[in-house]
Amino acid sequence: MSFATRRVGNTSLNVTTLGLGGATLAGNIEPVADIAARLIVADAYDAGIRYFDTSPFYGYGRSEHLMGDELRGRKDWVLSTKVGRVLSPRKHPQDARDKWRNPFPFEPRFDYSYDGVMRSYEDSLQRLGLDRIDIIYVHDLDVWSHGGSKETQQKYFRTAMESGYKALDQLRSSGDIKGIGLGVNDAQPIGEALQHGKWDTFLLAGRYTLLEQGPVHDVLPAVQKHGASIVIGGPFNSGILVGGTTFDYDTAPAAVVARVKRIEKVCAAHGVPMPAAALQFPLGHDVVASIIPGPRSAGELNQIMEWWRVQIPASLWSDLKNEGALDKDAPTPK
């Protein structure tokens, strides 16, 4: 299958418009066997996908290890990983509330400093078993990831902007990496970061989807003016847009369920599977470079490919807007 590519900001990188997110490879919420995770990566590459995203946080090194195993020896891929946490050998029992199933025997701690970024980068190269990383995102600088505390989030944000950024800029200037940005679950830190440096791309999970388009009014135009790109993670809002019951990894509230039903009704009237519309919608905006869903099996990856191939009529998007189920200012795929 042939995928279109889009340029990442003002870098020399071009990524396929469909990429592969690596969180699910590590078995978040549901366990995934190593052989199954490797098969997902191999199948994605064989299908024509060339953009792959991972993080030290995903399974505490497991996702990086498995993804690197499959990319090693292959050509023409673009890889992003993340900084903001460093891993140390586990000294405490895994928390029963921890979402990772069968993670590596490490435990993370936040470190957004210059030294923390450099150590994380070097450790990631070792775990991946690769000789390069193309893009590094500063991971989870949002309030949601720091216990809902704005004070804690701002403390880490200042460290990342004043200290960690220097390490990222140095790695980029030396040519060790080609792009830098943030990987977050909330659009607000992206808008704030634009005032603190020159960025190439941002990974925004779950906040610009068929279900919610708030960033179209402020953050996306600001990113575009900055000359950077957006990568969309979590295009299915953690399951609610593929017929599941979860939103932001928790039970979906009634208002969200009602909105999804309105979207689903319009999609059904056009004979379009709602997940297909959800997968393709964000690419209507020129600032979006890639969509990176996270399949948990080769079967789920195949299903994503089928949704990707669905031809969606322009009337679907206009009807969603007429029904108030899609922001009127949101650009839609041509």
Query: Annotated active-site positions, please?
Result: 53, 58, 82
User: Which one, of 307, 311, 217, 298, lies nearest residue 270 by Cα?
Assistant: 311
Query: Is the separation of the CB atoms in 29 and 249 below 8 Å?
Result: yes
| Residue 4 burial by Cβ neighbours in a 10 Å radius (0-12, 13-18, 19+) | exposed
Count of residues for the chain?
334
Phi, psi at 262, each rounded to 5°: -65, -45
Burial class (CB in 10 A: 0-12, 13-18, 19+), 254: exposed
Are the C-beta atoms of residues 125 and 70 closer than 8 Å to each other?
no
User: Exposed (0-12), middle (13-18) or buried (19+): which is 319, by Cβ within 10 Å?
Assistant: middle
Among 301, 21, 7, 279, which Cα is nearest to 137's? 21
Other CB atoms within 10 Å distance of the CB of residue 192: 15
β 5-7/14-16 pair status? antiparallel
Q: Which residue has the tokens 């009704």?
A: 265
DSSP 162: I
